[in-house]
Amino acid sequence: MKVAIASGKGGTGKTTIATSLSHLAANLNHRTVYADCDVEEPNGHLFLKPDIRDTRSAGVLVPVVNEDACIHCGLCGDVCLYNAIVTLGGRVLVYPDLCHNCGGCALLCPVGVICETSHEIGTIDRGKSGTLQYIAGRLNVGQISCTPLIRAVKQDIPKADLVIIDAPPGTACPLIETLHDCDLALLVTEPTPFGLHDLKRAVQVARTLDLPVAVIINRADIGNGDVRDYCASESIRIIAEIPNDRRVAEAYSQAKLITSAIDEYTPLFTGMLADIIEYGKCTN
């Protein structure tokens, strides 16, 4: 099964939970993959310290114009809503970083002088951390759109019993691309007004995709009861509450997995994992 660990708001503990759960699942002999789809800021490797065995370039198709045969009709520039291709002064200029890779210019060119070539937008690392399989996308600095890279990471995810996806923050296209085809969205939040505001948006996105949701409340003993009230009123299951523990913050700041750093957290995470796996059985 594929579980996406997401949160509308950044910094709620998404990566901490995703890495600890993945590590634990692998140690309990589940064939597990940790997939980092937070491609703008992939940080899972800091905690899992994987042995990277393969890095590949991930690209998108961008146009190349054979200017010698071009009749400079300007159609390509007219159909491109992203201004990535412009005809000017008898030349055709292509700006790959504005291109959304729709292929329209190549398709519609009346004289067929536009072909497409791959343009790197990021890299995909694959490796292992113990028995845990690791895969992560890393967007090149200055690239605008990360959804094609997320799509590429997801296509490269090896077969496994359990895939834990570290989702990008926010509630927009990158999250939608990540949640697509998942079996469960596990939303990590904090019991604060900001946490609640962003949780509501994440729930809306998951529900738009008809994806079941469950919630993990992190730093559960801070803030107020509004997140719990909201979950109760929306019939959203809270599968775990993680206390606000300075030791957790310290483990995080030392790039340690919670379950490795603090023994007493193992039962909590084991319970969470059992819940998730049970959930997968019910839906399959």
Partner 1 sequence: MHELTIISGKGGTGKTTITSSFAVLANNHVLADADVDAANLHVLFRPQTLHAEPFSGGYHAEIISAHCNGCGKCREICRFHAISASNGQFTIDDLHCEGCGICYHVCPENAIDLAPASTGDVITAQARCGPMVYAELNIAEENSGKLVTQVRAQAQKLAKQHDCDTILIDGPPGLGCPVIASLTGVNLVLIVAEPTPSSMHDMQRVIELATHFNIETCICVNKWDLNQSMTADIEKCAEQHGVQLAGRVRYDQAVTDAQVNGKAIVEYTDNEAAQDVRRVWEYVSQRLR
Partner 2 sequence: MRIAITSTGPDTDSQVDLRFGRAAYFVVVDTDTGLSTSHSNTQNLNAAQGAGLQAAKKVADLGVEAIITGNIGPKAFSALAAANIKSYLGATGTVSETLKLFNAGSLQETTTPNVAGHWT
Distance of CA 182 to the CA centre of its chain: 11
Q: How far apart are CA 140 and CA 80, in angstroms?
A: 24
- According to the binding rule CB under 8 A, does residue 103 interact with partner 2? no
- 83 lies in the site for partner 2, by CB under 8 A: yes
Of the ranges 84-92, 153-161, 180-188, 241-249, which one interacts with partner 2 (CB under 8 A)? 84-92
Binds partner 2 by CB under 8 A, chosen from 64, 72, 77, 241: 77
Q: Select the span of 77-85, 101-109, 116-124, 153-161 touching partner 2 (CB under 8 A).
A: 77-85
Question: Which of the residues 217 through 236 are near partner 1 (CB under 8 A)?
Answer: 219, 222-224
Give alpha helix (H) positions in 168-224.
173-179, 193-208
Out of 69, 95, 180, 274, the only residue in the binding site for partner 2 (CB under 8 A) is 95
Neighbours of 18 (CB within 10 A): 27
* CA–CA separation, 252 and 244 (whole Å): 13
Would you say 60 or 186 has its CB closer to partner 2?
Answer: 60
Quick one: what does residue 89 bind among partner 1, partner 2, none, with the CB cut-off 5 to 8 Å set by partner type?
partner 2
> Is 86 one of the binding residues for partner 2 (CB under 8 A)?
yes
Q: Does 55 bind partner 1 (CB under 8 A)?
A: no
Closest contact distance (angstroms) between CB of 115 and partner 2 is: 21
* Beta carbons within 8 Å of 282's beta carbon, 6+ residues apart: none
Residues sharing a CB contact under 8 Å with residue 226, sequence separation 6 or more, in sequence order: 191, 193, 196
Q: Is 211 in the site for partner 1 (CB under 8 A)?
A: no
Position 11 contacts partner 1 (CB under 8 A): yes
Q: By CB under 8 A, tell whether 89 contacts partner 2.
A: yes
What would the DSSP string read from start to end of 48-112?
H--EEEEEEEEEEEEEEE-TTT-----HHHHH-TT--EEEETTEEEE-GGG-----HHHHH-TT-
Contacts of 158 (CB under 8 A, 6+ apart): 33, 126, 133, 135
List Cβ<8 Å contacts ≥24 apart for 251-256.
252/13, 252/16, 255/46, 255/47, 255/49, 256/47
Rounded to whole angstroms, the Cα distance separating 215 from 236 reads 7
Stretch of 48-56, 76-84, 125-133, 262-270 lying at the interface with partner 2 (CB under 8 A): 76-84
88 binds partner 2 (CB under 8 A): yes
Give which of partner 2, partner 1, none residue 95 binds (C-beta under 5 to 8 Å, depending on kind): partner 2
Name the token pair of 197: 């505001």
Residue 268 contact among partner 1, partner 2, none, beta carbon within 5 to 8 Å by kind: none
63-102: contacts with partner 1 (CB under 8 A): 79, 81-82, 100-102
Interface ranges with partner 2 (CB under 8 A): 77, 81-84, 86-89, 91, 93, 95, 98, 144
